[in-house]
Amino acid sequence: MGMKTFSIITFILFSYLSNSQGIQHKNEFGGGIGAMHYSGDLSPSLRVQDFSPSVQVFYRNNYANNYSVLRFNMLVGQIKASEKNQGHPLPEYRDLSFSAMITEFSIIYEYNFLNYREISRGTNEDNFLSPYVFGGIGASIMVGNNSPTYLVLPIGAGLKFQLSSHLNLGFEVGVRKTFSDNLDGYSDDVALNSSSKFDSHYHTGFTLSYTIYSDMCADHYKNW
């Protein structure tokens, strides 16, 4: 059911993009590295030892107003947790743990707070730096545990900076909300004395991307 819902939403968004008239967009391709962290029954608090490396690749469709962005994202990383060294006798006695690899495919809408990449270098309207927020929907495939596929809602914020007319550097922090309490293989909250209703995982990372302009002959590009 989760993958079917994600496929329907993907089809609707692609149809919208293909039928949009009068919109000049800029194509942006990139990737990044970061870290993932799980939150759930086995990890009631943030612990550095539970962080795992991650990588991502993405395509951004930047609309002409420079505020709206649609991003197609693939994120690969590991989530893990252990009850060792939590400072509580019962969890340390149980010594439960898990580890799983995740591949996430998501569609994300970004909103830039500033008129990012304004084509007016040398004026006071230039905005080579912009904070942004994002939200979307995705599907994750898990290898190594009891939930092979599940829906995720990516939500977060970031900061993007233009290194040059084509290169962009970014940093973002986000959470992946899920509708599953079984990512870690344990769903009995009462037995585990956990207040977690659904499992989640977090992602923090840096990105580097390259923008390709669709109309390099237009007059407003000649000053670049």
Model confidence pLDDT, tens digit, residues 103-117: 999 999 999 998 887
Whole-angstrom distance, CA of residue 49 vs CA of residue 42: 13
pLDDT digits (tens, 9 = 90+) for 149-199: 889 999 999 999 999 888 999 999 999 999 888 888 776 555 555 556 788
- Strands 52-62 and 149-162 turn out to be unpaired
**Given a cut of 70, is residue 3 above it in pLDDT?**
no
- Altogether, the residues listed in the chain come to a count of 224
**Given a cut of 70, is residue 220 above it in pLDDT?**
no
**Given a cut of 50, is residue 69 above it in pLDDT?**
yes
Q: What's at 119, amino acid-wise?
A: I
Q: Which pLDDT value is given to residue 134? A: 97
pLDDT digits (tens, 9 = 90+) for 81-106: 877 766 666 666 677 888 899 999 99
Task: Give the Cβ contact number of residue 84 at 10 Å.
Answer: 12
pTM comes to: 0.78
The Cα diameter of the chain in Å comes to 70
Q: Which pLDDT value is given to residue 122? A: 47
- Strands 167-178 and 200-212 turn out to be antiparallel
Q: What's at 111, amino acid-wise?
A: Y
Structural contact between residues 20 and 32, judged by C-beta atoms closer than 8 angstroms: no
Task: Give the Cβ contact number of residue 162 at 10 Å.
Answer: 17
